[in-house]
Structure 1
Amino acid sequence: MGECKLDHSQEDVKNKYESQAVFLPEEMKPLFEEFFAKEHTQAILNEVFHLLKKYDLASEEEKIERTNRLNMVLQNT
C-alpha cells in the first residue's frame, strides 16, 4: 500500500468500514464498534482507512495480512 497524503476523518473511516463490512470477518464487527466509540490520532485513522480501502478487491493473502493488521490496531486502541 502506498502512502497517502490525505488525512481521513473518523467519518471517512466509518463510511469506508460500512462499505467493506460485508467482506470483513464477522468477529471484527464488535472491535469496530468499540473503535468508533473513541477518539483516535490522525495516524491511526489513516492506517485503518487504508487497510479497509479496496479490502474486497485484495487477494486472499493480502486480506489475511490486512485482517491481522486491523485486529492488531483495533485491539490496541
Structure 2
Amino acid sequence: MSECKLDHSLEDVKLKYGQQKEFLPNSMAPLFEAFFNEEHTQDILNEVFHLLKKYDLATEDEKVQRENRLNLVLKNV
C-alpha cells in the first residue's frame, strides 16, 4: 500500500467500511461496530482507512494480511 498524506475522518472510515463490508469476513462486523463507537487517533483512523481501501481488489494473500492487521488494530483500540 502506498503512503497517503491525507488525514481521514471517522466518517471517511465509515464510508470506506460500508463500501468494503460485503467483501470482509462477517466476523469483523462487531469489531467495526465497537470501533465506530469510540474515539481514535488520526494515525489509527488513517491506518484502518488504508487497510480497507481497495480491499475488494486485493489478492487473497494481501486480504489475509490486511485482515490480520485489522484484527490487531480493532481488538487493541
1:6 aligned residue: 6
Distance 1:10 1:71 in 2: 18
TM-score (norm 1): 0.99
Structure 1: 5+ residue stretches without partners: none
* Paired residue type of 2:41: T
1:16 aligned residue: 16
**Per-residue deviation, residues 8-47 of structure 1 (Å, max 9, x unmatched):** 0000000000000000000000000000000000000000
Provide the secondary structure at the position in 1 that maps to 2:74.
helix
TM-score (norm 2): 0.99
Pairwise CA distance, 1:2: 1.1
Question: Are 2:39 and 1:43 equivalent residues in the alignment?
Answer: no
Provide the secondary structure at the position in 2 that maps to 1:8.
coil
Quote the RMSD (CA, aligned, Å): 0.3
1:71 aligned residue: 71
Distance 1:56 1:2 in 2: 16
2:27 aligned residue: 27
Pairwise CA distance, 1:72: 0.3
Structure 2: 5+ residue stretches without partners: none
* Paired residue type of 1:49: F
Q: Which runs of 4+ in 1 moved over 6 A?
A: none
| Count of aligned residue pairs for this structure pair | 77
Query: What fraction of aligned residue pairs are identical, expressed as a percent?
Result: 71
Distance 2:67 2:26 in 1: 11
